[in-house]
Amino acid sequence: FDSKIMTWSAEQTQEDFMKNDMVIVVDTNDNVLEPANKYVTHKWVNLIEPKNMLHRAFSVFLFNSKNELLLQQRASSKITFPDVWTNTCCSHPLYCPEELDATNDQIGVKRAAVRKLEHELGIKAGTIPAENFRYLTRMHYKAPYIPGYGPLTESTPTPEWGEHEIDYILFVKADVELQPHPDEVRDTQYVTPEKLKELMHEDSGLIWSPWFRKIVDKFFDIWTADIDETINTDKCVDLDTIHRL
C-alpha cells in the first residue's frame, strides 16, 4: 500500500476531504478494485447513469439504553446532501490495510465507523469498541443530490454530486457523550422508532437522506422489533445478500 493512501486527518476542510480521502472502489459484487478520492467517486454525470464510481460505505445506527436511535442533521457545509436528516453516522472506510480488513466480521469497516463517530459526533474512540458493532447486511443504491430535493423531471438540472454505494449496515447500543463537529453535524436528536415514523412523514417538512429512507422503508420495522435481539444475535444478519435498492 502507498503510505499516502493510509494517511488521514480530521483537521481538513470539506473540500480537502473530497480531494484527499481515498475510498474503496468495488464492483457490483463488492470485490475491491482500486482506491479513488471522494471527488471522483461522488461526481455525477446525469440522472440515469452516474459517472461516479461504485464504492464502499457504512451506515451506523446507534441506540441508547432507552432504545432510542441517534439521528443527525448533516452540516450546511457538507458538499453532498447538506442539511438533511439521517441515521447516526454515514461515511466510508478508507483504502488502507486497517479499514480493508475483512476478517473478524468485517472489522475494517467497523474501525472506520469508530473513526468517523469520533470525527463527526465527538464520541471518543475507546467508548465503543469496534467489535461491539453488529454488521447486519449490505445494500447497493444510487442517489443524485438535487438541491431543494424536488421531483426529478426533464427540466431538472444535471446533478453535480451524488452517491453510488454498497452500504454496510452497522447496529450498536451504547450511552455516549456527544460533542458534534460543527463542520460535519448541524443538529442531533434521539427518537424512538415510533417517533421516527412521524418525523419521516411528508407533512413534517423535514428532509431525509435517500439512503436512510430506503433502509427505513425496507428493513427498519424488522430490525427494530426487538433491538437487543438484533444487536446481540444473528437473527437479522444476512451477510451473503447485497440488497439492490
Residues annotated catalytic, as ranges: 90, 165
Give CA separation, 171 vs 8, 70, 109, 190, in Å: 25, 11, 12, 15
Distance CA 20, CA 27 (A): 22
Give the whole-angstrom CA distance, residue 180 versus residue 242: 31
Torsion angle defined by CA atoms of residues 167, 218, 119 and 162, in that order, rounded to the nearest 10 degrees = 60
H helix intervals, the chain: 3-6, 14-20, 38-42, 97-100, 103-121, 193-199, 210-215, 221-223, 227-232
The SS3 assignment for 3 reads helix
* Residues 88, 58 contacting (CB under 8 angstroms): no
Pairing relationship of beta strands 242-244 and 134-144 according to DSSP bridges:
parallel
Of the candidates 164, 171, 167, 163, which has an alpha carbon nearest to the alpha carbon of residue 220? 171
End-to-end CA distance of the chain: 33
